């Protein structure tokens, strides 16, 4: 089994897991959502029956607030009723925080002159959307190599040849995903109940080191050929900053298991992408006439700078 076949197999394993993760939370939460964000200043709600236009266009009939603090009301600036009068779009003066939950209370909903009573709508992003945002953020928008400058040692070390770059990228992604989940579990079930939060650095790096050692030992027995291909990279992974930064970021922002996994996957794939791009350029650089004092690492740094500039184009990029 060569590296290319291995990469195909790894892709076949990772993709279904990821797709399942994207869809599964959406299925669970689909029943409760009755309103949705349209842009970051708009909320769409549907009433289920045609409502009176004069009632619907009065902003005083709506009360909108964040679920966490019900005391702070957000003023509605304008309302657009759909042609069939069954749904309305509320527009707000200020931008909403799309990662939190909002509640919309409609007072005395009237339909054909009859008062139907109060209706409440819960508006939030679905779990799948949040995960996808985290994934894209870690992979492209805040690429760990080009905008957070993590993992540079390995990035410059193994990006000389395309084949080693691909091998390293895949190994790293797998170790990253698994160790992100393991560190989350350790933090939630061991460190936090025992109030040992200050030990997280030691525990996380210990976990990663033990995990890498375990993979190394298992792979040596189970698949010696693959071990020969990837053995060196496995040991190098322990000194990669990203492998420690992702659990620390997860712990800081209080991410759950799915979020931790997605951040790990995004970081791993982003690193693999950066390695692959860089190795393509560096293979060509070998044949170019570079000034003698720029040979080797200095020109690689300048190339990385150009890449970082182009990755700046992703900033502010969002789908939902």
Partner 1 sequence: MSSNLKLIWNGLIPENPIFRLALSMCPAVAVTTSVENGLMLGLAVVFVQVFSSCTVSIFKSFIHPRIRIPAYVIVIALWVTVIDMILPVISPDVYKKVELFVKLIVVFAIIISRLELFASKEPLIPSFFDGLGMGFGFLFGLCLIGAIREFFGTGQLFGYDILGFNPLLIMVLPAGGFFVIGFIMAIFNWFEYKITGKIPTSGGAH
Rule CB under 8 A: is residue 296 a binding residue for partner 1?
yes
Nearest distance in Å: CB 209, partner 1: 5
Rule CB under 8 A: is residue 288 a binding residue for partner 1?
no
Mark the segment that binds partner 1 (CB under 8 A) among 80-88, 148-156, 181-189, 262-270.
148-156
Distance CA 279, CA 276 (A): 5
The greatest distance separating any two alpha carbons of the chain, rounded to the nearest whole angstrom, comes to 85
Q: How many residues bind partner 1 (CB under 8 A)?
A: 50
Nearer to partner 1, 64 or 154 (CB): 154
Nearer to partner 1, 21 or 165 (CB): 165
Contact (Cβ atoms closer than 8 angstroms) between residue 180 and residue 264 = yes
Contact (Cβ atoms closer than 8 angstroms) between residue 250 and residue 258 = no
Rule CB under 8 A: is residue 243 a binding residue for partner 1?
yes
Rule CB under 8 A: is residue 305 a binding residue for partner 1?
yes
- Specify which residues 221 forms β-bridges with: none
Nearer to partner 1, 70 or 206 (CB): 206
Rule CB under 8 A: is residue 146 a binding residue for partner 1?
yes
Nearest distance in Å: CB 282, partner 1: 13
Contact (Cβ atoms closer than 8 angstroms) between residue 241 and residue 255 = no
Rule CB under 8 A: is residue 194 a binding residue for partner 1?
no
Rule CB under 8 A: is residue 189 a binding residue for partner 1?
no
How would you classify the pairing of strands 42-46 and 35-37?
antiparallel
Nearest distance in Å: CB 175, partner 1: 14
Q: 37: burial class by Cβ within 10 Å (0-12, 13-18, 19+)? A: middle
Rule CB under 8 A: is residue 59 a binding residue for partner 1?
no
Mark the segment that binds partner 1 (CB under 8 A) among 1-9, 82-90, 108-116, 149-157.
149-157
Rule CB under 8 A: is residue 285 a binding residue for partner 1?
no
Contact (Cβ atoms closer than 8 angstroms) between residue 208 and residue 243 = yes
Nearest CA-CA partner of 320 in 92, 42, 3: 42
Q: Select the residue interacting with partner 1 from 244, 263, 265, 278 (CB under 8 A).
A: 244
Rule CB under 8 A: is residue 198 a binding residue for partner 1?
yes
Rule CB under 8 A: is residue 220 a binding residue for partner 1?
no
3-state secondary structure of 301: helix
Contact (Cβ atoms closer than 8 angstroms) between residue 313 and residue 141 = no
Distance CA 186, CA 190 (A): 5
Contact (Cβ atoms closer than 8 angstroms) between residue 67 and residue 100 = yes
Rule CB under 8 A: is residue 236 a binding residue for partner 1?
yes
Nearest CA-CA partner of 163 in 275, 240, 267, 265: 275
Mark the segment that binds partner 1 (CB under 8 A) among 38-46, 98-106, 271-279, 303-311.
303-311
> By the criterion CB under 8 A, which residues form the site for partner 1?
146-154, 156-158, 198-199, 201-202, 205-206, 209-210, 213, 236, 238-241, 243-245, 248-249, 291-302, 304-306, 308-309, 311-312
């Amino acid at each position: 089994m060569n590296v290319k076949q291995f990469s195909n197999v790894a892709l076949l394993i990772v993709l279904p897991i990821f797709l399942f993760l994207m869809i599964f939370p959406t299925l669970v939460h689909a029943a409760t959502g009755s309103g949705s964000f349209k842009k970051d200043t708009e909320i769409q709600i549907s009433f289920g029956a045609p409502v009176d236009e004069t009632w619907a266009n009065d902003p005083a009939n709506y009360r909108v607030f964040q679920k966490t603090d019900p005391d702070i009301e957000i003023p509605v600036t304008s309302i657009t009723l759909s042609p069939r009068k069954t749904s309305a779009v509320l527009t707000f003066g200020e931008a909403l925080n799309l990662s939190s939950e909002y509640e919309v209370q409609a007072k005395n909903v009237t339909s054909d002159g009859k008062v139907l009573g109060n209706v409440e709508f819960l508006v939030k992003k679905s779990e799948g959307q949040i995960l996808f945002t985290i994934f894209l953020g870690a992979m492209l928008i805040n690429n760990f190599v080009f905008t957070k400058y993590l993992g540079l040692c390995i990035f410059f070390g193994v990006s000389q040849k395309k084949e080693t770059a691909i091998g390293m990228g895949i190994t790293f992604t797998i170790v990253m995903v698994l160790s992100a989940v393991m560190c989350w579990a350790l933090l939630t079930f061991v460190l936090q109940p025992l109030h040992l939060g200050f030990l997280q650095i030691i525990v996380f790096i210990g976990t990663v080191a033990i995990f890498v050692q375990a993979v190394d030992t298992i792979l040596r027995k189970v698949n010696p050929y693959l071990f020969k291909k990837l053995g060196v990279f496995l040991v190098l992974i322990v000194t990669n900053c990203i492998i420690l930064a992702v659990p620390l970021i997860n712990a800081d922002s209080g991410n759950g298991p799915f979020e931790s996994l997605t951040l790990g996957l995004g970081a791993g794939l982003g690193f693999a992408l950066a390695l692959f791009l860089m190795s393509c350029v560096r293979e060509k650089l070998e044949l170019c006439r570079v000034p003698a004092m720029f040979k080797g690492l200095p020109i690689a740094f300048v190339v990385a700078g150009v890449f970082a500039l182009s990755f700046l184009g992703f900033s502010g990029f969002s789908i939902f």
